Structure 1
Amino acid sequence: MGSGWWWRLITAALTGILCFHGVCQAQIAPNYTFVHQATSAAPVSYYDYIIVGGGTSGCPLAATLSQNARVLLIERGGSPYGNQNITNLGSFSATLADTSPSSPSQRFISEDGVFNARARVLGGGSCLNAGFYTRAGTDYVKAAGWDGALVNQSYQWVEKVVAFEPPMLQWQSAFRNGLLEAGILPYNGFTYDHIYGTKVGGTIFDRDGHRHTAADLLKYANPKGLTVLLHATAQSILFRTEGKLRPRAHGVLFKDAAGVEHRAYLSKGSMNEIVLSAGALGSPQLLMLSGVGPAQHLRSHNIKVIFDQPLVGQGMADNPMNAVFTPSPIPVEISLIQVVGITRLGTYIEAASGSNFGSPPSATPRDFGMFSPQTGQFSVVPPKQRTPEAIAKATEAMKALSNEAFRGGFIIEKIIGPLSSGHLQLRNTNPEDNPSVTFNYFQKPEDLQRCVDGITVIEKVIQSKAFSKFRYPYLSLQALLNMTLNFPVNLLPKHGNGSTSLEQFCKDTVMTIWHYHGGCQLDRVVDRNYKVFGVDGLRVIDGSTFHDSPGTNPQATVMMLGRYMGVKILNERLGRKRSN
């Protein structure tokens, strides 16, 4: 190792950074004494609360409940700590491009043909996303029936650990000023609040470009009250169904990385519960695998019906995203989402820039951009034609492009809602496999019109004086959308005379912004306390309960919800104990 290796070890002990041969790696994990591999778990164990899914809602929920109860949190993925692709802003898209079985990102393709990703890591989607942090609007809070004071306290609890004000460099500043020129007013400065106009939002990347995730919220946990098991894949919820009583959830069957089965049961006590926080795909999928869902569909998979609930898996929605790549004549900084234009047209306008969004194929795989064939986010062909062969062809085409072709950024629009929705069904009974999901992008004409309105705002931003130094003066929006020049993203299928209407552009280039939700919706599958209708001892607390995606980006609200419901559940528990 050389004569200085011992000094590097001493330094590592003091700083938490380990360096060998000039390569440094962040410490493997915080001092979480309660985190273990599932292979070390007992065959049978007992807890007051069992939470399935250590993601964006599951981590804050577990940390909160552990203050006054014995909690088990099981996560099918591994730890985010030590994974530089997760930690570093500049390489964030590498995880999305990783399709290996051990990747923290599990790719799935909707029946609409749009490539998407679901998290498979402690911290959930907060380990994979572009980092934007913003709260839900006040109308959203009222519609959900939440207590406003507790919502604010819960957001603040989250923000102390994971939220930061981003540095505003040249490209993002030009985009912000371009939004103002385009009439997206007023300017609201830096704020977490969801209000009409243009604002600088928060980010979960700190000033050093290091990501902070929902897993960091476990620092709030009571180590004596929490057990976290990694690589623990839930197979089914276990119910008691004696006599004529309502089915009661009383345990979870899960497998460890070696395929060995374990059973975790609720200890005695009427307040003890199981909570699903497995996400918009995982929670409805696990309900169905456990016998709670549409009876006919469950029987077709030879699943015993515990409770016939036809609304499980319904209301699946994904906010369609459309992006316009804007090549720049000058270098741009690497930036993820920092600024948003909240319009009154039913659309949000955001932007990102730099080599992590448009790296040339000569770069290392971790440098490939978010909008690229490697991540499945590309618009060379319409959604249902995005086959593996098409991806390979697009990848080869990118290799012929010069570095200058990848210099620039993206201005994107995401529609509010959306109004269009679909459904989720099981493909098989293997919980490791993705279910079948249909989002029905632009099924409602209002959604398509919102997309057109959003692209129109993007055109105004690109043509603004504020954005002029990042724009080739000879490139109009129509030239960008019907690109015949050598730029990597706006390579569209041609229709008729070779031009593309904005409506057709929206349909052909639709991608996901990973804000999918639904499947266990509030007032349909769960009540206002997030308890599952028709059974006892079971709640769902995550984005699957949403009817609409909160704010411009949902992660802040999903983390808030975990804390919020944890406090409410503990208050119920303490109140019940006092009354007894």
Structure 2
Amino acid sequence: MAVEQIYDYVIIGGGTAGAALAARLSENSEARVALLEAGAGEGPAIMSDGNPEAAVGLWGSSVDWNYTTTPQSGTENTVHTWPRGRVLGGSSSINGLTHLRGHASSYDAWEKQGAAGWNYREMLPFLMRSERAAGRDPRFRGQAGPMTIEEPPAATPLAQDLHDAAVDAGFPRCEDGNAPQAEGVFWSERNVAGGRRQSAADAYLLPVLSRPNLTVVTDAQVQRLLMDNGRCRGAEYVRNGKPGTVHAEREVVLSAGAIGSPQILMLSGIGPADHLRQLGIPVRADLPGVGANLHDHPLAWISYGVKKSPVPGPSRQAMLLARTSRDRDPDILMSFTSVALEPRWAGAQEGFSILFGLANPTSRGSVRLRSADPTSYPLIDPAYLTESEDLARMVTALRMARHIARADALSAWRDDEILPGKEAVTDEECGAYIRRTVGTYFHPVGTCRIGADDGAVVDTALRVHGIDGLSIADASVMPSIVAANTNAAVLGIAERAAHLVAARAER
């Protein structure tokens, strides 16, 4: 017999957004809140490691969905591995710990694409609400939020020289990479507290688990939403092989991420009608934008050997936000690391690398169901480099990275160029290298975007078009990706979603 329970709010997905939402909505002691998470409540001991490189050891583990893409025509038909967190905290529990909001233009772009009111000025209070950044400018940095932003460790000599090489190459110093108009080279901030990884679950959820009005159910994989005359009433899930049902008297909030949220919608009959009919799924709402607009930052790098061994140990890491041309918003995001990485995270050796990602790609892909079976992984097509403009800008970024690598600040370190090496000189050769080596920056977004047009999935209050009692809050609602690692932006979306959902209950 299925377990049935009734709450005011049901949140599906305990990742970055879901953890924050559950904590905020349960601040109202009269609101009964349930959070369903498909993964476990905790994972391997390595999850507590405050070293960003430890994240690699979590990929493919029990706390990773371990998705793969369809063969990508833009990357020589490569099938890419896509790590996504399957544990409380979601991908914030297995990511590289970077806390970076993105340039103000990233949010202003949302409004220009039809997400009225979702500009930087309107988002800033919610971005600030998520963080505790002591010592930073209180005009645009939060001072009392759950996510503690600690002073990063001192830079090792190689890390410092990588930072200085970017300055030598002509890029301005930036004191705070999370300032509204941050551009240039800056030291990255990390979601680390007391030397330990700080996921959204660590910061938001774990401190409030004792609240009597908050129920967290882990290992609960949602099969479909419960629909009744155009209203979402709850969800069906399976836990330890047994079915369960949760009912929401006020609202269901879908926070399963850019892959999970469109998958659950389509399994429930909400999505492109033709696609659903092909799979024998009754159509509840024909929303062609569900699963469309998928994109990610395509990432590649150059690597060099070194003349002397770098100093080991923790270090702060420099990043750079730059433009491929003056008439663009910042569109290249770089990071500098004190190891020579092999392509697509296949390994590393002594040396250094300059990673470059396209901050605002124009290529767009999709998420589609493989079958009507909820346990079947969806078809994930990020459409990497399918637009020629994206490849051209990645080639420009490679040349920018080489210019930095050859700066005087690195002359005492720099040995031979390992990647791409002498075979990549012309634009055509550089483009071929990028197609062979580009991969995910782990930042999928956009599959349930905000807007008012026929391709939008949610309105500006995050309510699903045509369905009562259902909203979405996660990276899937972004019309376009921010020029940054996405976790900080998702926290801001969740904070704003909590405000919007709570305000609806007061009417």
Report TM bin, short chain: 0.7 to 0.9
After superposition, where does 1:200-211 map in structure 2 within 5 Å? 200-206=187-193, 208=195, 210-211=196-197
User: 2:245 pairs with 234, 249, 263, which one?
Assistant: 263
The alignment partner of 2:197 has SS state of coil
Shift of 1:122: 0.6
Cα distance change, pair 412–572 in 1 and its aligned pair in 2 (3 A)? same
For each residue in 1:246-284, what CA deviation from the matched residue of structure 2 results, as whole angstroms up to 9, or x when unmatched? x1000100000x2100000113xxxx1101100000000
What residue in structure 2 maps to residue 224 of structure 1? 212
After superposition, where does 1:79-98 map in structure 2 within 5 Å? 79-80=41-42, 83-89=45-51, 90-98=53-61
Quick one: distance in 1 between partners of 2:218 and 2:162? 41
User: 1:554 pairs with 467, 486, 504, which one?
Assistant: 486
**Structure 1 or 2: larger helix share?**
1
What residue in structure 2 maps to residue 215 of structure 1? 201
User: 2:297 pairs with 304, 319, 328, which one?
Assistant: 319
Quick one: distance in 2 between partners of 1:420 and 1:147? 23
The alignment partner of 1:84 has SS state of helix
Quick one: distance in 1 between partners of 2:389 and 2:23? 41
For each residue in 1:432-478, what CA deviation from the matched residue of structure 2 results, as whole angstroms up to 9, or x when unmatched? 33211212211222211210111111101211111223311xx2x5x
Quick one: distance in 2 between partners of 1:178 and 1:207? 30
After superposition, where does 1:168-247 map in structure 2 within 5 Å? 168-185=155-172, 187-193=173-179, 195-206=182-193, 208=195, 210-216=196-202, 217-219=204-206, 221=208, 223-241=211-229, 247=230
The alignment partner of 1:239 has SS state of strand
Quick one: distance in 2 between partners of 1:265 and 1:192? 40
For each residue in 1:395-439, what CA deviation from the matched residue of structure 2 results, as whole angstroms up to 9, or x when unmatched? xxx8xxxxxx71123211001211111111111223333211212
What residue in structure 1 maps to residue 337 of structure 2? 352
Task: Specify the code of the residue in structure 1 equivalent to 2:243.
Answer: E
Shift of 1:73: 0.5
For each residue in 1:364-400, what CA deviation from the matched residue of structure 2 results, as whole angstroms up to 9, or x when unmatched? xxxxxxx57xxx644xxxxxxxxxxxxxxxxxxx8xx
Quick one: distance in 2 between partners of 1:315 and 1:255? 29
Shift of 1:310: 1.4
The alignment partner of 2:502 has SS state of helix
Structure 1 contact 320–512 (Cα < 8 Å) conserved: yes
User: 1:458 pairs with 379, 386, 401, which one?
Assistant: 401
Structure 2 contact 293–366 (Cα < 8 Å) conserved: yes
Quick one: distance in 2 between partners of 1:81 and 1:282? 20
User: 1:481 pairs with 394, 411, 420, which one?
Assistant: 420
Task: Specify the code of the residue in structure 2 equivalent to 1:64.
Answer: R
After superposition, where does 1:340-489 map in structure 2 within 5 Å? 340-345=319-324, 346-354=331-339, 377-378=345-346, 406-472=349-415, 475=416, 477=417, 480-482=419-421
For each residue in 1:103-141, what CA deviation from the matched residue of structure 2 results, as whole angstroms up to 9, or x when unmatched? 434232333122221221110111111111111332333
Q: Which runs of 5+ in 1 are unaligned?
A: 1-40, 242-246, 359-370, 379-397, 399-404, 484-493
Cα distance change, pair 528–498 in 1 and its aligned pair in 2 (3 A)? closer
Structure 1 contact 65–71 (Cα < 8 Å) conserved: yes
Structure 1 contact 110–116 (Cα < 8 Å) conserved: no
Cα distance change, pair 556–336 in 1 and its aligned pair in 2 (3 A)? farther
Quick one: distance in 1 between partners of 2:238 and 2:56? 30
Aligned residues: 463
What residue in structure 2 maps to residue 490 of structure 1? none
The alignment partner of 1:57 has SS state of helix
Quick one: distance in 1 between partners of 2:40 and 2:466? 33
Quick one: distance in 1 between partners of 2:436 and 2:315? 24
Cα distance change, pair 288–417 in 1 and its aligned pair in 2 (3 A)? same
The alignment partner of 1:48 has SS state of strand
Shift of 1:547: 2.3
Structure 2 contact 360–483 (Cα < 8 Å) conserved: no
After superposition, where does 1:17-166 map in structure 2 within 5 Å? 43-68=3-28, 69-80=31-42, 83-89=45-51, 90-98=53-61, 102-112=62-72, 113-142=79-108, 143=111, 144=115, 145-146=117-118, 151-160=123-132, 161-162=146-147, 163-166=149-152
The alignment partner of 2:222 has SS state of strand
Max Rg structure: 1
Cα distance change, pair 539–336 in 1 and its aligned pair in 2 (3 A)? farther
The alignment partner of 2:304 has SS state of strand
Shift of 1:336: 8.0
The alignment partner of 2:84 has SS state of strand
Task: Specify the code of the residue in structure 2 equivalent to 1:316.
Answer: L
Quick one: distance in 2 between partners of 1:115 and 1:82? 20
Quick one: distance in 1 between partners of 2:401 and 2:102? 23
Quick one: distance in 1 between partners of 2:317 and 2:261? 30
The alignment partner of 2:167 has SS state of helix
Task: Specify the code of the residue in structure 1 equivalent to 2:38.
Answer: R
Shift of 1:64: 0.5
User: 2:458 pairs with 526, 535, 544, which one?
Assistant: 526
Task: Specify the code of the residue in structure 2 equivalent to 1:481.
Answer: P
| RMSD of Structure 2 on Structure 1 (CA) | 2.6
Quick one: distance in 1 between partners of 2:351 and 2:167? 21
The alignment partner of 1:155 has SS state of helix
Shift of 1:237: 0.3
Cα distance change, pair 166–290 in 1 and its aligned pair in 2 (3 A)? same
Cα distance change, pair 444–500 in 1 and its aligned pair in 2 (3 A)? closer
Quick one: distance in 2 between partners of 1:207 and 1:184? 32
Shift of 1:219: 4.6
Task: Specify the code of the residue in structure 2 equivalent to 1:73.
Answer: L
Shift of 1:150: 6.4
What residue in structure 2 maps to residue 517 of structure 1? 445
Structure 1 contact 237–252 (Cα < 8 Å) conserved: yes
For each residue in 1:324-359, what CA deviation from the matched residue of structure 2 results, as whole angstroms up to 9, or x when unmatched? 2222233333568832211121211112235xx76x
What residue in structure 2 maps to residue 286 of structure 1? 264
Cα distance change, pair 71–420 in 1 and its aligned pair in 2 (3 A)? same
Moved more, 315-324 or 130-139: 130-139
What residue in structure 2 maps to residue 503 of structure 1? 431
Shift of 1:220: 5.8
